Structure 1
Amino acid sequence: MRTIPDVSTVAIAVADGILHFELALAYELFGTVPPVPVEDWYELAICGAGTVRADGRFLLEPDCGLDRLVLADTVIVPGWADVDTDPPAELVEAVRAAHEAGARVASLCTGAFVLAAAGLLEGRRATTHWAHTEVLAARFPGVEVDPDVLYVDNGSVLTSAGKAAAMDLCLHLVRRDHGSVIANALARRLVVQPHRPGGQAQFVATPMPEQHDHPLGELLAWAAGRLDQPLTVEDLARRANMSSRHLGRHFRSMTGTTPLQWLLTQRIHRAQELLETTDDSVEVIAEATGMGTGATLRRHFNRTVGVPPDAYRRTFHRRRADGTAGSPG
């Protein structure tokens, strides 16, 4: 039988190879005095098997051993530095035991690899840093990996996307436990948004493959320079000197998508760049990216990026030191 403490306890599970950013972030949220009086605020413990080295350089002395995770209400697993290696078996087993004992388990960033190794994500939707979602999905095919969201809440198992998204998940936990007023007050003290719109798709930059390292490089570069024009599959096929059907097969083999979907993705990326670097209206950007109308751009942009163009601009618009908007170089 699991022993329930008098106060809600949060245990941060640590081992050699954890990332210090997520560790420090969780410590800041759950280990400091709340911004306003709260009954049963968290009691924080850092649990690990002996001295731990974070990021290969910071030494940390845990408060207690990994065996104490089973006494926690919530277990936080920070990011795991090397996703190409298996996390320590003792860490995986301790996290699994804590969940079986009734703990709520949350991973931050690549800590999802620890939860997946423990079997906690099997058959569940989960996320991690966008740069590692494909690795997570390939290594653990039973996990439904969502690369676009900031975090996923499955009740007793939660996962967050990369880095700053760990803050979103931790604030979400506070909101679940103590309500929006407390979570908002904590966010205000930390000078962050209580709840960010959209998902991590808005932070992903997909570079154009260079000609020297991509079989379709010349065609893709040609098309990318003409995004303001109404390009068709036939236009691309004619440029590549092949049939439309042959181009479609070759395109999917090389890029994993269709020519039209690739064009749409490039138009969205170009729209993101213009939203970030110019003061052009949505209608002007729609014309410059071959989307036709502002309504069409808004529809595709919101569906692809997760936020409307105006919201994206408010977040990412770059300004020069004199306060005026920058422009493409």
Structure 2
Amino acid sequence: MKFSSTYEIPSIEDREVDATVKPDLRVGFILMNQFTLVPVAGLVDSLRFAADRSFRSQQIFCKWDWMTCHDQPVTASCGMPVSPTKPLSVIGEYDYVVLAGGLLSETRNPPVWLLDLLRELHQAGTQIIALCSGSFVLGQAGLLDGRRCAVHFTIREEFIQRFPLAEVLTDKSYVDDDGIFTCPGGTAIDLASNLISRHCGTVRAQKGLEYLLVEDEEIQRQTPADKPRVTELHVYKNDMVERAISYMRSHMDAPDSLAAVAQSIGTNERQLHRAFISCTNESPARYWRRLRLDYARQLLMNTNKHVTQIAYATGFSDASHFILWFRKQFGETPNSFRKRRHEIEKLINTGH
């Protein structure tokens, strides 16, 4: 990688933390030729500051790789040459794959194999982020049909002409519609902050904002003891589903029934189930449980609450029920999740 030493992945010898540590957030960058540097730099620097407790640029809590379309060096639109650090092999390896576009001459007519790869990624459940004109590639792959997307105002007319089935927004810094993110450019730091907050906790999101001198009053007002925000970035074009999700968010600590959810929005359970399956590919019960578990993980990261307290705060009937579902969702118990994070931070602090 030829950005600078700041962006280099530390060698194995330089890593002082056990390489078997499971990261909270894994991101793969696919850099297209003539990509725009600023949003890529803003996103990866935010990850870098969230990746360890100090400022050593160690990839512990967050990990990322650099790839290119043909495993060959590419040149950013500013003229900076960049070499990949890993071959383009991304299925199942990342939570997010970032497609970094730039000059339209490189993204108007992407190769067919790249379109197939993006469809396969989406089908496999990997969330995709298109930076700058990367949205043209997603549009060509058909992944923006019927979805909202954020594009730069200078390319709005051409984008609408090419992809009339997409709902174009030019007043958003980014949009996430069912796991397809579009970011028109800028620094992408606000997008990074939301992703880090969800996966690594608000403290790590705030760390990057402070170091990058970015003001985010909502995040900076919070302390580790404050109630973490429930980050759910998806946007659904169904008023019933949106209102149901709003009810779920505001009743995280209440073991309400789905009948209560349906009644609150003036429908019945059968219609609610159909709407959720159509929009989210999940039943309302599973969706609500996932919201609760994501919230519980944030409480584990950002507070010292006992597991039993967290179980009740997230609407579970008891700690055993909570532990069972947490393990099914995240592959470990709440105590092991918290212990692992504490051990890593202690290891970083002592420099061993």
CA-CA distance at 1:195 after TM superposition: 6.8
Match of 2:151 in 1: 128
| TM-score, length basis structure 1 | 0.52
Q: Deviations over 1:215-272 (max 9, x none)?
A: xxxxxxxxxxxxxxxxxxxxxxxxxxxxxxxxxxxxxxxxxxxxxxxxxxxxxxxxxx
Match of 2:137 in 1: 114
State the superposition RMSD in angstroms: 2.8
The one of the two structures with greater contact order (alpha-carbon pairs below 8 A, sep at least 6) is: 2
CA-CA distance at 1:43 after TM superposition: 0.9
Structure 1: 5+ residue stretches without partners: 197-329
Choose from 24, 27, 51 the match for 1:10: 27
Answering whether residue 75 of structure 2 is matched by residue 58 of structure 1, we say no
Q: Deviations over 1:88-145 (max 9, x none)?
A: 4443333332222221111222221122222221111111112112222221111111
Secondary structure in 2 matching 1:13: strand
Letter matched to residue 141 of structure 1 = P
Match of 2:43 in 1: 26
1:10–1:75: 8 Å Cα contact kept in structure 2? yes
Structure-1 separation of matches of 2:133 and 2:81: 20
Choose from 199, 205, 211 the match for 1:189: 211
| Bigger Rg over Cα | 1
Letter matched to residue 73 of structure 2 = T
Structure-1 separation of matches of 2:155 and 2:74: 24
2:33–2:74: 8 Å Cα contact kept in structure 1? yes
1:92–1:118: 8 Å Cα contact kept in structure 2? yes
Choose from 142, 146, 149 the match for 2:169: 146
What percentage of residue pairs aligned between the two structures are identical?
A: 27
CA-CA distance at 1:152 after TM superposition: 1.0
Structure-2 separation of matches of 1:88 and 1:188: 40
Match of 1:264 in 2: none
CA-CA distance at 1:31 after TM superposition: 3.8
Letter matched to residue 101 of structure 1 = A
CA-CA distance at 1:45 after TM superposition: 0.4
| TM-score, length basis structure 2 | 0.49
Structure 1 residue ranges (4+ consecutive) displaced by more than 4 angstroms after TM superposition: 37-40
Letter matched to residue 115 of structure 2 = V
Letter matched to residue 144 of structure 2 = L
Letter matched to residue 161 of structure 1 = P
Match of 2:313 in 1: none
Structure-2 separation of matches of 1:66 and 1:94: 10
CA-CA distance at 1:71 after TM superposition: 1.9
1:70–1:99: 8 Å Cα contact kept in structure 2? no
Structure 2: 5+ residue stretches without partners: 1-20, 219-352
